Amino acid sequence: MTSVKLQIIYFLLLLFVIWRRFIFIITFAPLVKCFFFLKKNISKGDMSIPGYEKRLGFKYYIRNYYSSFVTYYLYLVSLYPSHHIRNFIYRRVCGLGLGRKSVVYFGAEVRSPYNVSIGEGSVIGDYAILDGRNGIKIGNNVVLASHVSIWTEQHDHNDPWFRCDTQQHNPVVIGDRVWIGPNTVILHSVNIGEGAVVAAGAVVTHDVPPFTIVGGIPAKPIGTRNSNLKYVNNGAHRSFI
């Protein structure tokens, strides 16, 4: 078999896989959109009361399966080899606030996307985690490298029931032209000022002043950045991923 025929076969197989996933994504989009509408507009009840799940019974299990399916759906969307399709689903189905010329690379996990806002020209690296349960606001021309994690909620280790809602957790706010290095962890209630830089592997637990470079665990100031920043990201991205 000639190399040309092999290339044609590989191309047809690729089209088959892409098309099959596209049909799945479009077919279940209304179901997912309904889920996020309900999550955003209807109170979830007092989940902090011990025995709540048992009291709900069948309704709880239905909601659990529904939520798990949506998580699986978003996972498939995150790996779909088209930025245009992913952005369409994020914006129109999931309610993610995604600015013009922004790029979300493959494998990124966005929780509660209706509580997440990403400005124009910003880049979200592959396999980033954006936990939007208590809100995330990302400015313009921000760059998040690979495997960045932003958490807006966490368990209370002192609580007898190990709940998340015993503390006040505020949104994470990231200013314009911030650069966040790979494998960084940003915890709830943190504000990162304009033009700041977070070094790779840092754990950010407190606010970062504008144009400040921080690093370490926990992150501390290690330098300053030029405050005369003018660059604007044009939306260029690698195809498929």
What is the reported pLDDT for 47? 46
What is the reported pLDDT for 1? 55
> pLDDT (tens digit, 9 = 90+) per residue, 70-81?
999 999 999 999
What is the reported pLDDT for 19? 82
Whole-model pTM: value is 0.86
Instruction: Write down the domain spans for the chain.
Output: 1-95, 97-234
100, two tokens: 């013009």
Contact between 130 and 152 (Cβ < 8 Å): no
To which residue do tokens 């245009």 refer?
84
What is the reported pLDDT for 43? 54
What is the reported pLDDT for 5? 72
Annotate 113-129 with DSSP letters as a single string: GGGEEE-TT-EE-TT-E
Burial of 212 (0-12, 13-18, 19+ CB in 10 A): buried
Q: In the β-sheet with 191-192, what is the strand arrangement from edge to edge?
A: 97-98, 116-118, 136-138, 172-174, 191-192
- 174: closest CA among 116, 101, 112, 232? 116
Which CATH fold would you assign to the domain 97-234?
UDP N-Acetylglucosamine Acyltransferase; domain 1 (2.160.10)
What is the reported pLDDT for 55? 59
Annotate 28-92 with DSSP letters as a single string: THHHHHHHHHHHHHS----TTSTTHHHHHTHHHHHHHHHHHHHHHHHHHHHT-S-HHHHHHIIII
Residues of the chain with pLDDT under 50: 45-48
Q: Which residues pair with 70 in a beta bridge?
A: none
Distance, in Å, from the CA atom of 69 to the CA atom of 235, rounded to the nearest integer, reads: 31
Instruction: Give me the active site residues, please.
Output: 155
